[in-house]
Amino acid sequence: MSAVSIYEIELKARRGRVDLPPQELTAALRRNAVVDLALTHEHAEYAACLDWDHRDPWDRLLAAQIRLEGCALVSTDQVFDGIGVDRRW
């Protein structure tokens, strides 16, 4: 799981937009042996150069990771449909 996703989910939880007790997500990821996807300079460079009319830097980083790593994004956010990534949910 991307470090960017962890950041966004935890931030939303702290703001009351997601019902998730503190550290619950991290504990669940450990229990299920979910592998961390670190953010690299290649991801950042690719995100900055994406030809995508979307200004949210966190979404751009996620899109770059998905494309470069060949993985899927689990999200309900349809904004990713415009960039041609594998979005599931």
pLDDT digits (tens, 9 = 90+) for 1-33: 999 998 998 898 889 998 888 788 889 999 999
Mean pLDDT (the chain) is 92
For residue 88, pLDDT beyond 90: yes
Structural domain spans, the chain: 3-88
End-to-end CA distance of the chain: 15
DSSP for 37-70 reads B---HHHHHHHHH---S---HHHHHHHHHHHHHT
pLDDT value for 53? 92
Radius of gyration of the chain, Cα coordinates, nearest whole angstrom: 13
